[in-house]
Amino acid sequence: MSIQIYNTLTNKKEEFIPIRKGEVSFYLCGPTVYDYFHIGNARAWVVFDVIRRYLEYRGYDVKYVVNLTDVDDKIINRANELCVHPNEVASKYTEAYFEDCRRLKIKDATCNPKATEHIKEMQDLISLLLEKGYAYELDGDIYFEINGFSEYGKLSGKRIDDLIAGYRVEPDQRKRNLLDFALWKKVKEGEVCWDSPWGKGRPGWHIECSAMSMKYLGKEFDVHAGAEDLIFPHHENEIAQSRCATGGVFAHYWIHIGFLRIGKEKMSKSLGNIYTAREILDEFSPESIRLFFMQKHYKSPIEFSIDVLANAENAVQRLKRCYFKLKELLERYNIEDNLNYNKNTDIIKNFRKEIIDIMDDDFNSAVSVAKIFDLVKVVNEKMESEYSVSKEMHVLKDAKDIFDEINKFFDIIPMTYEKSENTEKLLEILLNIRDELRERKEYALADKIRGEIEKLGYIIEDGALRTRWMKR
């Protein structure tokens, strides 16, 4: 089966056919770097990380571009509040963004273009729009005229009249249409600005994503992604200005993720219910956060709570225990020597096929992850039974391979096993106590401790200075 993607632009699920065979050009609207990102933003970064890595797992070479908006009203306001230069705010939170993404196990993008380093590309695009008559100047500001683009509103599925009726901002009567948006903003007192053919100023937000996506991916590329609230006006405007400037199609598939709510409420500063990703990462493993996001289809809204996350953490631990037990068993057993193995491993192989089919169908991680836990159950049962362990080693080997494969994109199984480190520490503590008992000549109790530890598969050697232990 080929990969199907729900395309916001056509409002239906479509077969994914990339422009160049075997390659995917992918643009994600990245962060505005004025604060630490919150758990709602984290959903977007993680979901698209999984989609990108899944496409790679399916054999595509993915060029993954995530921009950084480092000039914006929010950054300027934040800088004014803190009485620092906007660059200082932007560089601090850019660094924090990368740090938190790595903690969430998000794979580095192919590139992260910064808006402030692409002013020239934005100005070129604006010049082109002016030349072609799609934009106009108003006292140092440049506006895009939406009347010039007949498909305006297609992405959001809205009619221009309805959009005007819903317009909530104080209308600027000089504009030709209320919905015309700024491509270039004339400098205001004390703001960061750049020289331009239209005087000093700074770019509008929408133009930056058009300029950067097309610079790195071309006039036409495969996927443009972002959160649902970017559909209008941000992505609608990106389509309008890009298509008018180049005459090309711009992005072929538009993927949008649903909202994250805190319990039943929207996350907002006034409700005081904003959790930053780093706060959550201090309490929970990255795998549990990733699993929590994967347990819902990316388009559905998701309700966040500490309890739900705690459940996800338990599920991750269940997965981890199963995986490491399996790994240990396989290491202990030499499969090639075992001639009596059962070659009928279809039960497990079906899991792989099912997981892939489900993911191919618009990246349905929710159902896919449920399948993985069904597999855990089957594997645990097999590991309980001595018959299965000895006769079905190849089945177990297949299961481990599936876990390794799904982890390439979901990344929900922690690959280090701290539990054994703790076990070693506990062993040292016990042996130190035993040494003390021996010094006190309480041999009966010392021997009892030794006996119990040996039962767990360790060898204890009493040296002249200290007691050593090793695994049998």
What the block records as the tokens of 86 is 């906007």
User: Which residues, 265 to 284, sit near Zn ion by CB under 5 A?
Assistant: none
Half-sphere exposure of 123 (CA within 13 A, CB side): 15
Question: Least distance in Å: CB of 39 to Zn ion?
Answer: 20
In this structure, are residues 226 and 9 in contact, taking their beta carbons and an 8 Å threshold? no
Question: Least distance in Å: CB of 210 to Zn ion?
Answer: 8
Stretches 27-35, 257-265, 349-357, 386-394: which one binds Zn ion (CB under 5 A)? 27-35
- Residue 426: Cβ-neighbour burial (10 angstroms; 0-12, 13-18, 19+): exposed
User: Which residues, 76 to 135, sit near Zn ion by CB under 5 A?
Assistant: none
Between 72 and 145, whose beta carbon lies closer to Zn ion? Answer: 72
**Helix-strand-coil split of the chain, %, nearest 5:** 50, 15, 30
**In whole angstroms, what is the distance from residue 393 CA to residue 340 CA?**
10
- The residue count for binding Zn ion (CB under 5 A) is 2
Between 24 and 209, whose beta carbon lies closer to Zn ion? Answer: 209
**In whole angstroms, what is the distance from residue 417 CA to residue 320 CA?**
8
**In whole angstroms, what is the distance from residue 20 CA to residue 437 CA?**
73
Question: Least distance in Å: CB of 354 to Zn ion?
Answer: 35
Between 217 and 369, whose beta carbon lies closer to Zn ion? Answer: 217
Between 90 and 393, whose beta carbon lies closer to Zn ion? Answer: 90
Question: Least distance in Å: CB of 183 to Zn ion?
Answer: 14
Between 33 and 209, whose beta carbon lies closer to Zn ion? Answer: 209
The label of the residue with tokens 């309890």 reads: 307
Between 201 and 204, whose beta carbon lies closer to Zn ion? Answer: 204
Stretches 21-29, 91-99, 111-119, 264-272: which one binds Zn ion (CB under 5 A)? 21-29
Question: Least distance in Å: CB of 410 to Zn ion?
Answer: 26
Binding test (CB under 5 A) with Zn ion, winner from 29, 71, 262, 312: 29
**In whole angstroms, what is the distance from residue 147 CA to residue 134 CA?**
9
What the block records as the tokens of 125 is 């695009």
Consecutive H or E run containing 242: helix 236-246
Site string for Zn ion, 315-334 (x = CB under 5 A): --------------------
Between 29 and 294, whose beta carbon lies closer to Zn ion? Answer: 29
User: Which residues, 193 to 232, sit near Zn ion by CB under 5 A?
Assistant: 209
Question: Least distance in Å: CB of 30 to Zn ion?
Answer: 8
In this structure, are residues 451 and 444 in contact, taking their beta carbons and an 8 Å threshold? no
Between 37 and 323, whose beta carbon lies closer to Zn ion? Answer: 37
DSSP state of 109: P
Question: Least distance in Å: CB of 234 to Zn ion?
Answer: 6
DSSP secondary structure of 121-190: HHHHHHHHHHHTTSEEEETTEEEE-GGG-TTTTTTTT--HHHHHHT--SPP-TTSSSTT-EEEEEE--TT
What the block records as the tokens of 319 is 């997965």
33 binds Zn ion (CB under 5 A): no
Question: Least distance in Å: CB of 117 to Zn ion?
Answer: 16
Q: How many residues make up the chain in this entry? A: 472
Question: Least distance in Å: CB of 236 to Zn ion?
Answer: 11
Alpha helices in 247-392 (DSSP H): 277-283, 286-294, 306-332, 346-360, 365-384, 386-391
User: Which stretches does DSSP call E strand in 146-216?
Assistant: 181-186, 201-203
User: Which residues, 402 to 441, sit near Zn ion by CB under 5 A?
Assistant: none
Q: How many helices (H) and strands (E) does the chain have?
A: 16, 15
DSSP three-state, residue 40: helix
**In whole angstroms, what is the distance from residue 259 CA to residue 234 CA?**
16
Between 112 and 365, whose beta carbon lies closer to Zn ion? Answer: 112
Between 242 and 364, whose beta carbon lies closer to Zn ion? Answer: 242
Question: Least distance in Å: CB of 211 to Zn ion?
Answer: 10
Stretches 3-11, 28-36, 215-223, 443-451: which one binds Zn ion (CB under 5 A)? 28-36
Catalog residues that contact Zn ion under the rule CB under 5 A: 29, 209
